[in-house]
Structure 1
Amino acid sequence: MTLPSSQGWQLILADLALILFLVTLSALASGAKVTRIDSEESGSDPHVAPAQALFRVSADGPSLEQWLAERPRDPRATLTVFARHVPGERPAAIAQASALASQGDAAGYRVRVVLSEGRASDLHASLAYDEMAAR
């Protein structure tokens, strides 16, 4: 099937939009990386891979459990909850991160929580193929 020449530019523009979307998603995922932490006690070396999927809490969106149910189940995947808080809001950030971690655990995923202090509060979850020590 050949497209009329007047519609060819629309197909090219759609391809470019898809490429831009994928590049943007890749940049967002790489921004979610945390610095390497060497733990002498556990001997583990945590590694956060680029996200395959990102979840952000939204009032009109699905819960994390619903969102995970829509994803293909892969036993290699790790759910990492990232909670960033402003000074003085650490207990609230811990409570929110714990709630998301519980939902991920209930869905059967390996879960890790990364808590950090920053200039703005943020809560999101990343589903990725991380190298994580066995439970």
Structure 2
Amino acid sequence: MNSSNHNVELQIVHEDHEEDYKAVCNHLYNYNVSETNGLLKKTGKSINLFLRDKTGKAIGGIFCATYCDTLYIDNFWIDEEYRNNGNGKSLILQAESIASDMGCKLAHTSTFSYQAPEFYQKMGYEVFGILDEYPEGIVQYFLKKRL
């Protein structure tokens, strides 16, 4: 394979190459920082909230990250026994409030058709993308909300 004036070799590896992985990620990060006028250098924060029962056992949680003045909801789950009574609403509103206080202007996430697209829409999230080519009729929804 010849690229520009450099000879390169494509290697397909199945082992872990930590040093090479870090090098590629660092180069991508530095490129992204330069292309966003340094916005990516603004430190992101984790927002991890737990719902606990009276014994202290975690029965739910929402795990988010902030970057580029945006809240990303990564994982959100509540035990079935504790759903449909406002717990989910409380968790997401608290995460959004914390993010807003940190300067975030937007929240986004993705969810599957068998998870909670309707919940997010009730919470003011709007679908901006749909991936409907999974097997078994599974659909992935990408949602966003202005904070």
TM-score by length of 2: 0.29
Give 1 or 2: higher strand fraction.
2
Larger radius of gyration: 2
TM-score by length of 1: 0.30
